[in-house]
Chains A and B, each alone.
Chain A
Amino acid sequence: MASLAHSQLGLRNASPTAGVGWAARTVLTTAVLVATSAFAADTLDPNALKRLVHQDCGSCHGLSLKGGLGPDLRSETLEHYDAEVLTGVILDGIPDTAMPPWRPLISEEEAEWIARYLLEPEAQ
C-alpha cells in the first residue's frame, strides 16, 4: 500500500519544471492542498513520516538529526520551542536560509506530526 507521505510526495511527479509562472504554482499548491485534505489525520503513516524525517530532513540535519549543514534537531535542543512554531518553520521554511518550505510536499497535519515527533520522539 502506498504510504500517505509517499502518495502525496508522488504528486511532485506532476510538478512542472523551472520557469513556470507564479499562478501555475499556486494552482499546483492548491491541488496539493486539496489532495491533502482528502486524507484525514487518522490516515497519517508514522513510519513513512519517520522515514521522511531521518532520510530527507536528514540530508541537511543528519540521519540521527544531530545536525549537519542545518542545525541539530534533537529533542533536547528543540525543547524550548512550541510545536506550533516548529510546524510553521517546516511548512514555510526560513527565508534567506537553506531551510525550504515543505508546504508543497506535505500537509499541515503531517507537519504538525513531524513537529511533535521532533519534540517527543518516543511518544509518536
Chain B
Amino acid sequence: MKQLILTLAATLLMTTAQAEPTATGDLGLVIERAKGSVLLVDQSDRAALARIEGLGDLSHASLVYSPDERFAYVFGRDGGLTKVDIVTRQIVNRVVQAGNAIGGAISDDGKLVAVSNYEPGGVRVFDADTLEMVADIPTDSKTIGLVDAPGRRFVFTMWDTGETWIADFSNGDPAITKITDMGKNPYDALITANGRTYITGLFGEDGLTALDLWAETPEPIRVLPNYGRGQEEMPVYKMPHLEGWALTGREFVLPAVGHHEVLWIDSDTLTETGRTKTHGQPVFAMARPDGRQVWVNFAHPLNDTIQVIDSVTKEIIHEFKPGPAVLHMEFTPRGHEVWISVRDANKVMVYDTQTFEKLREIEADSPSGIFFTARAHRTGL
C-alpha cells in the first residue's frame, strides 16, 4: 500500500512537471563523446537536466538546432544523424546515413538538414521533419567545411580535390555551382554571420582562400598567400577548427595551422592586421559574442590551458588551466559566461568572462562540444 501511494505521488509529481510548458531558449546540449549520449543543460541554472542516450559514436560530433529551438540534429562520426527532442528529452528519429561523417548544417528556413561525409565522400541532404533523404551529392572526396548560406544554400569543400561547391535548394532540386582551385587540402571552413564570406583554411599550401558569396560568380580570393603553415618547422598534431570563427569589431581571428599564434585579418580587405603569439597550436579561437575578448584553446599536449586575448590591444590578458583536455568552449548568447568542456576531468566548467571566476562545475562523461539553443538563429552555426 505504501508502495502504491509513493507511486501515485510520483506519477502526480511527474504529471505536474510535464504540464509546465518547457521554454528552451536558455537550454543547451553537451556531447558526451565516449558514451554516445548528450547532456541537456540549463544555462541560467548552470545545471544538467537530463541525459539522452543511444546516439552512437559521438567522437567529433556536432549539432544544429531547428528554428523553434525544440529539436537538435546531432551529427555523429559513425554517419549517424539523430533528431533529439529537447522538450520531451528523447530521440525522435535516427538514421545512419553514411559510413563516416564529419559535420552538418541546417538550411536558413529550417527545412533541410545536410551532412558532410568522408565515406562515401559527399553531402547528403535530409528533410528536417522526417529525416528522409532528399538529395545525394557525391563529390569523390572527403568533404569538409559544410555551412548553410542565405537563400536555402549549402556550401562545402573537398579535401582531396580542392573544390568548393555551392548547392542552391531554392528551387527544389539543387543547382550546383563548382568553384575549382580553392587550394591544396582545405581542412575546414567558416562562413561569416552575414552569410557573405566563406573562408577555407589550407593544409597543403600557404594561406587561406575566401569566396564572396554575394558575387555573381564567386572566385577564389587568396588570403595571406605568404603565410606558411610551416610543416617543416612544426608538425600539426590536431587540425584547428574554423567553425569557431571570431569576428571582433572589423577583424577576424583565426587559429594558425602549425604555428603557436592566432592571426588577425581585416574583414573588408582580407589582409593581415596582426598576430598574437599563443601558448601552443590553437584549436579554437572563439570571440565572446560582443567581440571584446577571444578565448583560445590548444592542441595536445598543451590542451589543459586557455588564453584570453583582448581584441583591442591583441594582447593576452588572462591564462589559466581548467584541467586536462579542454575540448570546446561555448559562450552564453550575450557573453557574460562561458562553458568549457574538460574531457579528462569529466566536467563542464562555467566561468564569468569579466572576473574569470569559476562559477560551477557540472559532471559530464568525456564532454566535448557544447551547443546552446541560441545557435538556432545564427547563420553558419
List the B side residues contacting A102 at CB < 8 Å.
235
List the B side residues contacting A56 at CB < 8 Å.
237-238, 300
Contact for B60 among A6, A68, A98, CB less than 8 A: A68
| Contact flags B95-129 to A (C-beta < 8 A → 1, else 0) | 00000101000000000000000110000000000
Contact for A69 among B187, B259, B343, CB less than 8 A: B187
| Contact flags B227-247 to A (C-beta < 8 A → 1, else 0) | 000110111111100000000
Contact for A98 among B57, B59, B203, CB less than 8 A: B203
Contact for B235 among A20, A68, A93, CB less than 8 A: A93
- A69 near B33 with CB under 8 A, answer no
Does A74 count as interface, using CB distance less than 8 angstroms?
Answer: no
Q: Closest CB of chain A to B304's CB: distance in Å?
A: 10
Residue of A nearest to B278 (CB): A17
Contact for A18 among B204, B234, B325, CB less than 8 A: B234
List the B side residues contacting A64 at CB < 8 Å.
57, 59
Does A50 count as interface, using CB distance less than 8 angstroms?
Answer: no
Known A18-B233, A63-B59; judge A68-B118 contact (CB<8 A).
yes
List the A side residues contacting B277 at CB < 8 Å.
17
- A63 near B57 with CB under 8 A, answer yes
Does A46 count as interface, using CB distance less than 8 angstroms?
Answer: no
Does B261 count as interface, using CB distance less than 8 angstroms?
Answer: yes
Known A18-B259, A18-B260; judge A12-B301 contact (CB<8 A).
yes
Q: Closest CB of chain A to B16's CB: distance in Å?
A: 41
| Contact flags A9-27 to B (C-beta < 8 A → 1, else 0) | 1101100011110000100
Does B302 count as interface, using CB distance less than 8 angstroms?
Answer: yes
- A69 near B235 with CB under 8 A, answer no
Q: Whole-angstrom distance between the alpha carbons of A37 and B276 in the complex?
A: 36
- B185 near A100 with CB under 8 A, answer no
Does B288 count as interface, using CB distance less than 8 angstroms?
Answer: no
Residue of B nearest to A12 (CB): B301
Q: Whole-angstrom distance between the alpha carbons of A44 and B292 in the complex?
A: 46
- A13 near B302 with CB under 8 A, answer yes
Residue of B nearest to A56 (CB): B300
Does A88 count as interface, using CB distance less than 8 angstroms?
Answer: no
Known A17-B277, A68-B118; judge A9-B57 contact (CB<8 A).
no
List the A side residues contacting B258 at CB < 8 Å.
18
In chain A between 61 and 97, which residues have their CB closer than 8 angstroms to a CB of chain B? 62-64, 66-69, 93, 96
- B59 near A60 with CB under 8 A, answer no
Q: Whole-angstrom distance between the alpha carbons of A55 and B59 in the complex?
A: 9
Residue of A nearest to B188 (CB): A69
List the A side residues contacting B300 at CB < 8 Å.
9, 55-56, 59
Does B77 count as interface, using CB distance less than 8 angstroms?
Answer: yes
Cβ-closest 5 pairs across A and B:
A100-B235, A63-B59, A9-B301, A17-B260, A18-B259
